[in-house]
Structure 1
């Protein structure tokens, strides 16, 4: 990543706000200036929901230009800014340190936050990204290295005058890591209680979405009934569904990448088969009909046909507001997967089969979904007794045991 030296420039900006009715973001804010080095006219523009928001964006660029900051730099995304300034941000570090830092930047920071303008990276955004890395099972050192490189890049943005404080300097992430580990030790506590609760959630999310798009409810229902990740639901193609045996072969998932969303292999790098229960079959059949049965067609998309991610689902359905109103403050999109696996475990799906459906790499991970309550333990005792009774006659109780039982 070569450092491209960019001297601050004091330029005069011309500004305008154009109203384009009928659009979701109808106000186009634009600033123009003459580059003092190339003498060429340049401009940057951005769409906004209100005229006040458009003017606020222009005012921020005017303030940046008054401090000698190139407007093009002031509107760069985090990925663009980091690539341009990484050498400067990591100055003074040894190669053995920069290697894991660059890995954290490329594999975690850019996919999670790289699309945001530098000025829009907030403490909350960093908090959510950090929690997502922890929930994905990243180790402490990995999270530490990832945050360290983000802190250095944002510190460079502070020195450049793009922002006033470093939003990556979050506190308590190690405590958050421990809380996440505690939750993951008991994933059953994160599951929805039953089918009615799932349908209530799906209906509420659809009602809160723009134009009440029913596809969001289908995504939520399908994810919970198949114990799948949201990215895997987005990756479903018609050809992956066996409508005769009602089996879904999970082959791919949609994940963020530097160039946008892309379909990649599943997290375990191998395909797995998942049963489609009766409750979800009408939904699947209807989706197949909607796309015309084309083998390569995506079964689940956004209202405009785009790919789905957990962030897209959250924003489109106002997820946080909806789950809070329903009393599920803890519920995340990934907990739909916990819900499905918990239901399967309670239904008596054998442990080795549950592991294959989940795609878990280790058996202890799957065992966390088992719930050895009193009923289950008693049933285990009856099962053993039945097995012994069938195999051979049980010996009569000893005189001492018979006397004890009579006293009881």
Structure 2
């Protein structure tokens, strides 16, 4: 991908004279329109920018900011640009000094993550909180650490250019702590039980709502969600599942690959732990599995789950196709991410009494301490454990006694 060229209007022109006015427009949520007008020094064209505000004070503050920007040599258009527009116009300045081998992943991060998440917001309205939420959204979408790092790096550079241009006073993209949040997501969370759906009925309500909200009411979206929750699998692993991985004799799934993003697009690679694992297919999803197998072309290598056009599924594709955020919020589970389907399945298995070492193998956890977070050692279970120990000791045959000294 070639480096973008700067547009003509990015050259600073000192001392542009602005005329301004505030117009009251009744019956509007923001009735005060603040406007600035000026003559373009390059073309002589009469240009203007305007913005709606709740009151005259906010309108006056906006006009003042535009006048300060113009006095500092900033085109007033740049001072009110959305992030996507400003970045595209100034990317060559923002990437000065970046090695050519780094340019492509930076621009990919800009195009695929920064612009869809933050591009609609004016540069001056980008806050540290907005960037922080964007980064955590990328983590929730299970992007790799390097992908998130590159996306954040290009955003930092674009916002740093905005600082140099005087559009903003400080760079809000310099967020910290996201690496810790990434490692938490990698190792599961401190309290994953709190993110689990309560029961199968709730899961069914969710799948039905997601299917109903999708553009074509594609039943496959519901199948993906139900399968992921009932197998405690990641969405990428569900996408990577082939017919040959399913054993309908003992009803198990050999999880050995996942679909993930790569510089050239989506690719299939080994599971996160680099080890295959077997997962039980419970009775509640066996009809679903047989139906999905029947929908394939009969090839052992056919994908069990695809999009409506046969494409591979990612957590981001699932979110966009089903309006996930809107649906879960309406159902009262606004915290729910796609990865929480995995937390749901592991929590259900733990509550069903699956021994922790078996649960560790099903989850594919490298550390037993990660699996133990899904256990629920409430007061009753602790009391029951004591009673079990007492019964065991009462049954034990008498052995040699220690002599007192």
The CA distance in 2 between the partners of 1:266 and 1:387, in whole Å, is: 41
- Distance apart, 1:247 and its partner CA: 0.9
- Unaligned 5+ runs, structure 1: 11-66, 69-73, 92-97, 395-408
Stretch moving more, 284-293 or 102-111: 102-111
* Equivalent position SS for 2:216: helix
**Counterparts of residues 263-302 of structure 1 (less than 5 Å):** 263-302=268-307
- Distance apart, 1:147 and its partner CA: 3.1
Number of residue-to-residue matches in the alignment: 322
- Distance apart, 1:218 and its partner CA: 0.5
- Unaligned 5+ runs, structure 2: 10-76, 79-83, 400-405
* Equivalent position SS for 2:259: strand
The CA distance in 2 between the partners of 1:270 and 1:111, in whole Å, is: 33
1:315/1:137 CA distance change after superposition, 3 Å: closer
* Equivalent position SS for 1:210: coil
The CA distance in 2 between the partners of 1:151 and 1:166, in whole Å, is: 14
Aligned: 1:303 with 2:283:
no
Match of 2:338 in 1: 333
* Equivalent position SS for 1:336: helix
* Equivalent position SS for 1:184: coil
Aligned: 1:207 with 2:212:
yes
The partner residue of 1:88 within 86, 96, 101 is 96
Per-residue Cα deviation, 1:224-274 (whole angstroms, up to 9, x for no partner) = 001011111111110111111111111111112222222122111221111
Match of 2:172 in 1: 169
Q: What is the aligned-residue RMSD (CA, Å)?
A: 4.6
Match of 2:320 in 1: 315
Aligned: 1:380 with 2:348:
no
**Counterparts of residues 6-405 of structure 1 (less than 5 Å):** 6=5, 8=7, 88=96, 90=98, 109=109, 113=113, 126-132=131-137, 134=139, 147-153=152-158, 155-156=160-161, 169-170=172-173, 174=177, 184-392=189-397
CA contact (8 A) 1:105 1:150 kept: no
- Distance apart, 1:167 and its partner CA: 12
1:216/1:375 CA distance change after superposition, 3 Å: same
The CA distance in 1 between the partners of 2:130 and 2:212, in whole Å, is: 26
1:245/1:160 CA distance change after superposition, 3 Å: farther
The CA distance in 2 between the partners of 1:138 and 1:256, in whole Å, is: 8
* Equivalent position SS for 1:274: strand
The CA distance in 1 between the partners of 2:367 and 2:143, in whole Å, is: 13
TM-score, length of structure 1 as denominator length: 0.65
CA contact (8 A) 1:89 1:152 kept: no
- Distance apart, 1:177 and its partner CA: 6.0
- Distance apart, 1:134 and its partner CA: 5.0
1:118/1:320 CA distance change after superposition, 3 Å: closer
The CA distance in 1 between the partners of 2:245 and 2:149, in whole Å, is: 38
- Distance apart, 1:391 and its partner CA: 1.9
1:112/1:264 CA distance change after superposition, 3 Å: farther
CA contact (8 A) 1:252 1:265 kept: yes
Match of 2:55 in 1: none
The CA distance in 2 between the partners of 1:264 and 1:111, in whole Å, is: 24
CA contact (8 A) 1:242 1:248 kept: yes
The CA distance in 2 between the partners of 1:117 and 1:343, in whole Å, is: 33
Match of 2:25 in 1: none
The CA distance in 1 between the partners of 2:317 and 2:264, in whole Å, is: 17
CA contact (8 A) 2:360 2:368 kept: yes
- Distance apart, 1:86 and its partner CA: 7.8
The CA distance in 2 between the partners of 1:235 and 1:127, in whole Å, is: 30
CA contact (8 A) 1:89 1:153 kept: no
The CA distance in 1 between the partners of 2:383 and 2:116, in whole Å, is: 55
- Distance apart, 1:373 and its partner CA: 0.7
* Equivalent position SS for 2:376: coil
